[in-house]
Amino acid sequence: MNCLVVAFVLLFSFTTEARIGNSSEPTSYCTETKECLLFDLICKGEEYEVRHYEAAKWVTTEAESMFKDLAKMKAFRKLYNYITGENEAGAKIDMTAPVIIKVKEEVPLLEKSVYVLSFLLPSDYQKQPPQPNESTVYFTDMPDMKVYVKSFGGWMVSAVANKYSNDLKEALDKAEATYNTDYHYEVGYNSPMKLMNRHNEVWYEVKGSPVCPPAE
């Protein structure tokens, strides 16, 4: 009987654990940090891929601006300060990948919008991250989710990211896939110091059953 309880507890703790791991494992492009967020590939085509991510804890802040790139820089600085010691423990926390930005859809040009930026907490800090000193930095639990993904290289400036999120949306609409249309994610894997082979993605959250892209 006790064995069963232990087995159950073990199973439960395994299935609720975020999968964050060795950068060498998941992909060829997550190379600059010790740990990356791992995923299961559901399917892949030329137009997009479908992935499954398990729940994970992130450290998050937001910035409001008319300009996405400016908001991103402000928010990035705050989160960077948190991981480099502006927390109650004075802990230095390793940078991970990816960095994600939640972007509201359909923001009219020259109108302010709130951009929500998150760093993935390394596996050692998933359960009990130190409290941030800065009150506008907080934790978010991203639920277990499936996403539609489009990858691209180069620098993820606003105009480029917008082009790829539009391309992805078109491909999803053509495939009659359903997805969350309130926002998407812009996902970065590289530091500004990396000049070659940069990798970025845009994600839409799958709604209902995922639809795989047409075969290549």
Ligand X SMILES: *[C@@H]1O[C@H](CO)[C@@H](O)[C@H](O)[C@H]1NC(C)=O
**Site residues (vs ligand X, CB under 6 A):** 22, 24, 85-86, 88, 90, 133
CB of 80 to ligand X, least distance (A): 12
Other Cβ atoms within 10 Å of 114 Cβ, number: 14
Q: Tell the burial category of 204 from Cβ atoms under 10 Å away from its Cβ (0-12, 13-18, 19+).
A: buried
Measured in residues, the chain has a length of 216
The CA distance from 18 to 169, in Å, is 28
Edge-to-edge strand ranges of the sheet holding 113-120: 40-44, 49-53, 145-152, 200-205, 183-188, 99-104, 113-120, 56-65, 138-142
Q: Count Cβ atoms within 10 A of the Cβ of residue 138 and give its class: 0-12 exposed, 13-18 middle, 19 or more buried.
A: middle
Query: DSSP of 142-208, one letter per residue?
Result: EPSEEEEEEEE-S---HHHHHHHHHHHHHHHHHTT--B--SEEEEEE---TT--SS--EEEEEEB-S
Decide: 139 and 59 in contact? Cβ < 8 Å: yes
Q: How far is the CB of 81 from ligand X (least distance, A)?
A: 8
**Closest distance to ligand X from the beta carbon of 20 (Å):** 10
C-beta of 91 vs 160, nearer to ligand X: 91
Nearer to ligand X, 85 or 153 (CB): 85
Report which residue's Cβ sits closest to ligand X.
22
**Closer residue to ligand X (CB): 83 or 202:** 83
Report residue 135 as tokens.
């009150």
Q: Cβ closer to ligand X: 120 or 206?
A: 120
CB of 113 to ligand X, least distance (A): 29
Shortest spacing between CB 133 and ligand X, in angstroms: 4
Q: Please state the closest distance from residue 77 (CB atom) to ligand X, in A.
A: 14
Q: Which is nearer to ligand X, 35 or 186 (CB)?
A: 35
Nearer to ligand X, 19 or 74 (CB): 19
